[in-house]
Structure 1
Amino acid sequence: MTQDYSINMLKSGLKVIIFNQPCIIQNSKFVKPGKGQAFARVKFKSILSGKIVETTFKSTDRLKKANVHDIKSIYLYNDHKLWYFINSITFEEISISKKILNSKRFFLTPQSKCLLTIWKNNTIAIVLENFVSLIVVKTTPALQKKSLNSSGIKLATLSTGISIKVPEFIKVNDLIKIDTRTCSYISRL
């Protein structure tokens, strides 16, 4: 049995099907004008593409509940085609393609905890821990010279293959903390 939501029931965080895709409602404003039919302005994010869209619905419209669920999992290994995870509750192995992971694959280390979003028995998104610690394997000379207000910046290649900007004092074999949401350096550990 599918559940439908009337437009005045929409609230932030609700997962619904819009344009045949699972979406998360970011905000919804129900408007009752003095004349004419009531409507709602809805801002939502597509789980598949990550695009944020704003649209208007009539008060008589209904949206279907997205049969989307999240699974707590742990990253195991990869064979450069598929990345393998284990469901923390059922211990079922789940494989995910490079296309779904995109650049998030550079923040996965064995035993990393993450949240997999499943829709129609397929993994459609992954949420990583906000911070990860990685080892610097290579650095370049400073890109930006020191000034009175800031230190120099250079590129560092990390153990997973990604390159990020780091302060000039970072050396090879340093363990650094990275924000996975912004792909930015936080601190040296």
Structure 2
Amino acid sequence: MTTYNSNYFRSGLKIIFDKEPYIIESSQFVKPGKGQSFVRVKLRRLLTGKLIDKTFKATDTLKSADVTEITVSYLYNNRKFWFFINKKTFEEVFATKKVLGESIKWLVEQASCLATLWNNEVISITLSNFVELKVMETNPGLKGDSVSTATKKAKLITGAIIRVPLFIKEGETIKVDTRSGEYVGRVR
């Protein structure tokens, strides 16, 4: 395992801090007029996504994290685990509901995702920014409501409920932003 001196901390570097994997969001080398130089670092904890600020002496060292990212496709779930297949090796990996978090609302079969593994265990699943989902239930819109900014609730094929414009009908496919959970547009 590679060891990095704090002078070489850069954005995107994955390290082990407090026995857990972190990614460096930003680092700033500071050399004051008096005293020892230091490095101010913003670290994102890969297990939870929490952001912390930390200051390291110029002589401090940390080990690199053995974190890998693989492209996977969603297969199925058994309500306890969500199973994915590695697109290169065809090996199956799984994630828990806790790891997936809000992403569960947007998962459909064969959806391509990015899985982050640490010690051969999935610690996060990142979906693409936009998904196309079919509307399963919604109230019918009124004639002439195609230009209005008013919205109504719609239940999607994954079970997620979002706000959509009044002109969206059952059976239509829409584009949804997975980061905010908002309607983006209709797919033709």
User: TM-score scaled to structure 2, two decimals?
Assistant: 0.91
- Look up the equivalent residue of 2:155 and give its one-letter code: T
Given that 1:68 and 1:119 are in contact with CA atoms closer than 8 Å, whether structure 2 keeps it comes out as yes
Q: Could you tell me how far 1:3 is from its partner in structure 2?
A: 0.9
Q: What residue number does 2:158 align with?
A: 160
SS in 1 for 2:104: helix
Q: What residue number does 1:43 align with?
A: 42
Q: Could you tell me how far 1:174 is from its partner in structure 2?
A: 1.5
Q: Given the superposition, is the C-alpha separation of residues 32 and 140 from structure 1 closer, same or farther in structure 2, using an over 3 Å criterion?
A: farther
Query: How do 1:39-188 residues align onto structure 2 when only pairs under 5 Å count?
Result: 39-139=38-138, 151-188=149-186
User: TM-score scaled to structure 1, two decimals?
Assistant: 0.91
Q: Could you tell me how far 1:132 is from its partner in structure 2?
A: 0.6
- Look up the equivalent residue of 2:55 and give its one-letter code: T
Aligned length: 183
Q: What are the superposed Cα offsets for residues 39-98 of structure 1, whole Å, 9 maximum, x if unpaired?
A: 111012111111111111111111110110011111111122211111111111112211
Percent identity at matched positions? 48
Q: What residue number does 1:12 align with?
A: 11
Q: Given the superposition, is the C-alpha separation of residues 64 and 168 from structure 1 closer, same or farther in structure 2, using an over 3 Å criterion?
A: same
Given that 2:71 and 2:87 are in contact with CA atoms closer than 8 Å, whether structure 1 keeps it comes out as yes
Q: Could you tell me how far 1:139 is from its partner in structure 2?
A: 2.4
Runs of 4+ in 1 over 4 A off after TM superposition: none
Q: What are the superposed Cα offsets for residues 99-154 of structure 1, whole Å, 9 maximum, x if unpaired?
A: 21112112111111111111012100011111110011122599xxx9x9x61022
Q: Given the superposition, is the C-alpha separation of residues 159 and 3 from structure 1 closer, same or farther in structure 2, using an over 3 Å criterion?
A: same
Given that 1:141 and 1:154 are in contact with CA atoms closer than 8 Å, whether structure 2 keeps it comes out as no
Given that 1:5 and 1:62 are in contact with CA atoms closer than 8 Å, whether structure 2 keeps it comes out as yes
Q: What residue number does 1:23 align with?
A: 22
SS in 1 for 2:22: strand
Tell me how far apart the structure 1 counterparts of residues 99 and 125 of structure 2 sit (CA, whole Å).
8
Q: Given the superposition, is the C-alpha separation of residues 141 and 41 from structure 1 closer, same or farther in structure 2, using an over 3 Å criterion?
A: farther
Unmatched runs of 5 consecutive residues or more in structure 1: none
Given that 1:40 and 1:59 are in contact with CA atoms closer than 8 Å, whether structure 2 keeps it comes out as yes
